[in-house]
Amino acid sequence: MNQLKYYFYPNPHDEYAWTKCPQCDAKTKLRKFCLMIHYEEKPLNFRRMLSMRMECKFCPACELVTKKKSEIETYLRELVESWGMTFNSGNYFVFGTMEMQDWKQNQQTPMQPSEALDKIAPFKDILDFKIQPAGWYFTGDK
């Protein structure tokens, strides 16, 4: 069973750094998260799950993780183009996190995909996000 964890806000505004929490106005902290990303190119029937370690702004009281979309997309674009594909910002969503220790363990000794999926904590909610995770695995957990 996957435990839901954190709320996520993919920040579309480059001009806001969110030194304060957009929800409760408390000062945010910098914390490293291992973000889990789903990337999909429907016409090619291509799907891939990615993990990305990134420093995010975090409000412990709201359990809210924020990350600038542009920073996520810069990284993703490079990766997708390295696959010989064209990056499309409508093709991805960040759907959860993985504990850093699990991530490290997976880097050293890759887990079975099912085991790795068990370690993922999907977000409780994604704020201000338009894409609905279609055909993804976590529907039973809500």
Give me the 50-69 binding string for Zn ion, x by CB under 5 A, dash otherwise: ---------x-xx-------
Residue from the set 6, 21, 94, 121 that interacts with Zn ion by CB under 5 A = 21
CB 20 within 8 A of CB 26: yes
Q: Is 100 in the site for Zn ion (CB under 5 A)?
A: no
Q: Interface with Zn ion includes 23 (CB under 5 A)?
A: yes
24 makes contact with Zn ion (CB under 5 A): yes
DSSP, collapsed to helix, strand or coil, labels residue 124 as: coil
Q: Which residue in 75, 82, 26 sits closest to 54, CA to CA?
A: 75
Binding site for Zn ion (CB under 5 A): 21, 23-24, 59, 61-62
